[in-house]
């Protein structure tokens, strides 16, 4: 597997590239956006790791150019930008994942492995795979949500439930509708299982002090977003 790492901080890029090579990857390093963009355009890489802020051309510009040309090579952003708006901008530019500096090396390596496991034919994320409602962003490809600068890891069932809520923001979703969506028409669990699933999701996406998003409509179901 061949990786292109583009970062103008040599003190970070050089040891990181050596670690990636120790993991068995072939790595090329560029320290500015012009060189990085030119190398990325050759189309010989299995993964692009891009710093956001670069001399000459930004990582965002490199990513946008590759996507505009139909290049589906996975892109991982490394950046100090950590607000929700920053994450949304990076994902909207076509990035597949996003890691805020400073980061743990083992987390970066895990994300690299995950991106490289994806099928080569995987298309870049489309707007329908990234859902936004109020200050919550759901990245369906990576099974994570972002809110108030937090990265929220989700289980498969939690991601599916959250996506359903966000796709029907402001609407009353009955217990029956949610059961049918999550479990189909057969082998449905008891209503207590659904309540527990909602409670687990609430704990993750509604931190203390944050606006309540999941509203219980007693005896009927749930409404997501505006009460």
Residue 206 is part of a domain; what is its CATH number? 1.10.10.10
In this prediction the pTM is: 0.53
Where does 122-210 have alpha helices with state H? 156-167, 175-183, 191-205
Residue that has been written with the tokens 């090329």 in this structure: 28
Whether residue 137 is contained in a domain is answered as no
For position 227, what pLDDT does the model report?
A: 58
Angle at 75 between CA 5 and CA 108, to 5 degrees: 65
Residues 80, 101 contacting (CB under 8 angstroms) = yes
Residues 6+ apart with CB under 8 A from 55: 8, 31, 32, 33, 34
Whether residue 111 is contained in a domain is answered as yes
Q: Which of 183, 178, 107 is nearest to 144 (CA)?
A: 107
For position 122, what pLDDT does the model report?
A: 40
**Per-run averaged pLDDT (10 residues), the chain, 227 residues:** 91 90 92 92 89 88 85 86 70 79 85 77 49 86 87 89 90 89 69 85 92 93 84
CA distances from 208 to 56, 106, 204 (A): 42, 29, 10
Residues 116, 51 contacting (CB under 8 angstroms) = no
DSSP track, 131-148: EEETTEEEETTTTEEEET
Say whether both 96 and 204 belong to one domain: no
Residue 24 domain boundaries = 2-123
Say whether both 108 and 46 belong to one domain: yes
Say whether both 15 and 89 belong to one domain: yes
Residues 50, 13 contacting (CB under 8 angstroms) = no
For position 120, what pLDDT does the model report?
A: 47
For position 123, what pLDDT does the model report?
A: 43
Q: Which of 99, 123, 147 is the last residue of a domain?
A: 123
Q: Which of 123, 147, 165 is the last residue of a domain?
A: 123
For position 107, what pLDDT does the model report?
A: 87
Say whether both 116 and 16 belong to one domain: yes
Say whether both 119 and 170 belong to one domain: no
Q: Which of 78, 109, 3, 5 is nearest to 46 (CA)?
A: 3
Question: How far is residue 217 CA from its own chain's centroid?
Answer: 30
Which DSSP state fits 120? Answer: T
Using CA atoms, how far apart are residues 53 and 51, in angstroms rounded to an integer? 6
């Amino acid at each position: 597997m061949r990786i292109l790492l583009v970062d103008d901080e040599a003190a970070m890029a050089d040891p990181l590239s050596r670690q990636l090579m120790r993991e068995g990857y072939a790595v090329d390093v560029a320290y500015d956006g012009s060189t990085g963009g030119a190398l990325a355009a050759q189309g010989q890489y299995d993964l692009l790791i891009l710093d956001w802020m670069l001399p000459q051309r930004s990582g965002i510009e490199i990513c946008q150019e590759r996507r505009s040309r139909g290049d589906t090579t996975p892109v991982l952003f490394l950046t100090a930008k950590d607000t929700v708006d920053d994450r949304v901008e990076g994902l909207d530019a076509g990035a597949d994942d996003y890691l805020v500096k400073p980061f743990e090396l083992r987390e970066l390596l895990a994300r690299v492995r995950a991106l490289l496991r994806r099928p080569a034919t995987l298309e870049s994320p489309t707007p329908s795979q990234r859902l936004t409602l109020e200050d919550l962003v759901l990245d369906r490809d990576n099974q994570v949500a972002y809110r108030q600068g937090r990265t929220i890891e989700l289980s498969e069932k939690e991601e599916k439930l959250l996506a359903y809520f966000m796709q029907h923001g402001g609407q009353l979703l009955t217990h029956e509708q949610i059961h049918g969506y999550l479990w189909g028409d057969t082998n449905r669990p008891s209503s207590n299982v659904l309540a527990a699933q909602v409670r687990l999701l609430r704990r993750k996406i509604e931190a203390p002090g944050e606006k309540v998003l999941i509203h219980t409509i007693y005896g009927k179901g749930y409404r997501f977003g505006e009460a």
